[in-house]
Homo-oligomer: A and B are copies of this chain.
Amino acid sequence: MDMKLMPIGVINSQYLTKNDAPRQGRYSTETSTITVFNEFLDGLDGLDANEYLIILYWQDRAERDKLKVIPHGKTEKMGIFSTRAPVRPNPIGFCLVEVVNMNGNKIIVKWLDALDGSPLLDIKPFWKCDLPDIQ
């Protein structure tokens, strides 16, 4: 099966290396700029109704061939699926972000932890009703 991704845009941030990136974007006040490529602009129709978005991006500088890592602040190795480390077989980054501003193909957001230049893969609306029982 062909599971090849295409970049739909690019993320620009203050994070140039993995040492710059916050352990969780949620706790940073930095903003990042998402630029959606013009050929995908029609897909943004109606997006401005959303205060929060799910962003999927490609962690292009992450290793893909490890199954255990020592997470930040821990001393023992853990299976990568029980961590949010970028290291994983399919390095798809997930962030819930807050929208600061949306103008044409540019979306400025908070809470994103992507390194500068990361390829954008997908944008999905986040609904508070996703999580009714665990709030």
A5:B90 contact, CB within 8 angstroms = yes
Please pick, from B52, B54, B67, the residue contacting A134 in the complex, using a CB distance under 8 A.
Answer: B52
Known contacts A42-B79, A50-B82, A89-B40; decide if A6 and B7 are in contact (CB<8 Å): no
Q: How far is the CB of A60 from chain B (nearest CB, A)?
A: 6
A47 interfacial contact with B, CB 8 Å? yes
Copies of this chain, how many? 2
A91 to chain B: closest residue by CB: B122
A80 to chain B: closest residue by CB: B43
Within residues 30 to 49 of chain A, which ones have a CB less than 8 A from any CB in chain B?
A: 36, 40, 42-47, 49
Q: How far is the CB of A103 from chain B (nearest CB, A)?
A: 15
Within residues 83 to 116 of chain A, which ones have a CB less than 8 A from any CB in chain B?
A: 83-84, 88-90, 92, 94, 96
- Inter-chain contacts of A46 with B (CB < 8 A): 78-79, 82-83
A111 to chain B: closest residue by CB: B130
Q: How far is the CB of A65 from chain B (nearest CB, A)?
A: 11
A80–B125 alpha-carbon span in the complex (Å) = 10
A8 interfacial contact with B, CB 8 Å? yes
